[in-house]
Amino acid sequence: MKNLIPFCLFLLMFSCKTSVKTESKPITITSAEVKDVVTYLASDERLGRNTGTQGIDESATYIENQLKSYGVKPYYDTYRDHFKIGETNAFNVVGFIEGTDKTLKNEVIILGAHYDHIGKAKIVEGDSIANGANDNAAGTSAVLAMAKYFAAKKTNKRSIMVALFSAEEMGLLGSKHLAERLKSENLNLYTMVNFEMIGVPFKDRDYEAFVSGYDLSNMAAKLNEYVGQNLIGYSEVSKKYSLFKRSDNYPFYEQFKLPCHTISSCDLTNFDFYHHVDDEIDKLDFEFMASLINKMIPAIEKMSATETKEIIMYEE
Ligand SMILES: [Zn+2]
């Protein structure tokens, strides 16, 4: 693991053009509520959510309070899954929405995103706070929105675990800890879907987001089938830079050898502010985000309801 650069590090090597708006029609989740979450997490007061700081502690408390208000239960005794990085205390935030089917509820779908960021970055015009709006307050807001939906509607037949990871930016440490813990506890995992940098739309593509490790399983094909459109596609960049191994899906794949993937709408072409102090809320397209989340919800709903485990790894 130590030689792997986290997903969000690879973009440092590139520069990109800015995004354009796309039309969207939110069905259940509004752009305003997505923006509220991102605004809290990516504000200067959170100081860039570096692991081990007050800013990430406040962020974790905020996420816990959101989950509680939605009626999502803690997976463990509390929402926090604690781990240590040397002397530093760190914690993932983990909630659980039990499935409605008496048999299928024993199988678990994990929806994940890292909520930490890097703290500070190179000073630009007096600003040193790396707000991490796209990376990854955006993914966190998506997971919270889906948690809110499923806790309210209770339409998931399989159980859904929501996992917000710390210390991704330090090398996927939070997800590695939780994946190992859940494996040792014999979690009956079906799939893991991770969300990373979904704050701006692609241009010039016939899909809205890509899945890392596209050719390892039928995840993309099944999500598109479930949602009835070409929502999730293939990214050359993801393949070239092995993004499958560079975000929080990968420790889950390593432990469980099941379909565990990251969904993202950012590779090289559409975001200029990667690990930059200007990765701030004014750069994000909240209409696009709400639209993508509202399309993912029925896909996850269907994923939770199929009689058999349809999403499978391809044979090597
Ligand atoms: Zn990231």
Q: What is the CATH number of the domain that holds 101?
A: 3.40.630.10
In a domain, 267, yes or no: yes
Q: How far is the CA of 136 from the centre of ligand 1 (A)?
A: 5
Residue 219 pLDDT: 98
Residue 5 has pLDDT above 70, yes or no: no
Model confidence pLDDT, tens digit, residues 97-151: 999 999 999 999 999 999 999 999 999 999 999 999 999 999 999 999 999 999 9
8 confidence band (pLDDT: 50, 70, 90): low
pTM of the model: 0.92
Instruction: Please tell me the total count of domains within the chain.
Output: 1
d(CA 102, ligand 1 centre) in Å: 36
Ligand 1 geometric centre to CA of 184 (Å):
26
Mean pLDDT estimate for the chain = 92
Phi, psi of 283 (to 5 degrees): -90, -10
Residue 105 CA to residue 254 CA, distance in Å, equals 24
Residue 240 lies in a domain: yes
Going from the Cα of 307 to the center of ligand 1, the distance in angstroms, rounded, reads 33
Give pLDDT tens digits for 10-22: 554 444 444 444 4
Does residue 258 surpass a pLDDT of 90?
A: yes
Residue 126: both structure tokens together:
């007096």
Q: Give distance in angstroms: CA of 90 to centre of ligand 1.
A: 17
- The domain in which residue 287 lies consists of 7-303
Q: Which helix (H) or strand (E) holds 224?
A: helix 219-227
**What spacing in Å lies between the alpha carbon of 306 and ligand 1's midpoint?**
31
- Is 2 contained in some domain? no
Residue 313 lies in a domain: no
Confidence of residue 269 (pLDDT cuts 50, 70, 90): confident
Question: For 176-228, how does the pLDDT look when each residue is reduced to its tens digit (9 = 90+)?
Answer: 999 999 999 999 999 999 999 999 999 889 999 999 999 999 999 999 999 99
Instruction: With respect to residue 308, please indicate whether it lies within any of the assigned structural domains.
Output: no
Give the model's pLDDT for residue 26.
Answer: 42
How many residues make up the chain in this entry? 316
Average pLDDT of span 165-171: 94
pLDDT for 27: 56
Distance 100 CA to ligand 1 centre (A): 32
pLDDT at residue 162 is higher than 80:
yes
- CA 198 to centroid of ligand 1, rounded, Å: 10
Q: Flag whether pLDDT at 158 surpasses 70.
A: yes
Predicted pLDDT of residue 267: 83
Neighbours of ion ligand 1 (CB under 5 A): 8, 135-136
Could you tell me the distance, in angstroms and rounded to a whole number, from the CA of residue 109 to the centre of ligand 1? 21
Residue type for position 10: F
pLDDT in tens, 35-92: 999 999 999 999 999 999 999 999 999 999 999 999 999 999 999 999 999 999 999 9
137 phi and psi angles, rounded to 5 deg = -60, -30
Query: pLDDT confidence of 2, banded at 50, 70, 90?
Result: very low
Instruction: Tell how far the Cα of 168 is from the centroid of ligand 1, in angstroms.
Output: 7
Q: How far is the CA of 6 from the centre of ligand 1 (A)?
A: 7
Residue 16 pLDDT: 43
Domain-located, residue 143:
yes
User: Is residue 281, in this structure, part of any structural domain at all?
Assistant: yes
Identify whether 254 is part of a domain: yes
CA of residue 263 to ligand 1 center, whole Å: 11
Question: Residue 111 Cα, ligand 1 centroid: separation in angstroms?
Answer: 15
3-state secondary structure of 89: strand
Question: What separation in Å is there between the alpha carbon of 106 and the centre of ligand 1?
Answer: 30
Q: Phi and psi (nearest 5°) for 134?
A: -70, -40
Q: How far, in Å, CA of 249 to CA of 252, rounded? A: 5
- The confidence score (pLDDT) of residue 15 equals 41
pLDDT of residue 225: 98
Confidence bin at 23 (pLDDT 50/70/90): very low
- 148 contacts 298 by C-beta, under 8 angstroms: no
φ/ψ region of 48 (left if φ > 0, alpha if ψ in -120 to 50, else beta) reads left
Task: Give the residue, 313 or 24, on which the prediction is more confident.
Answer: 313
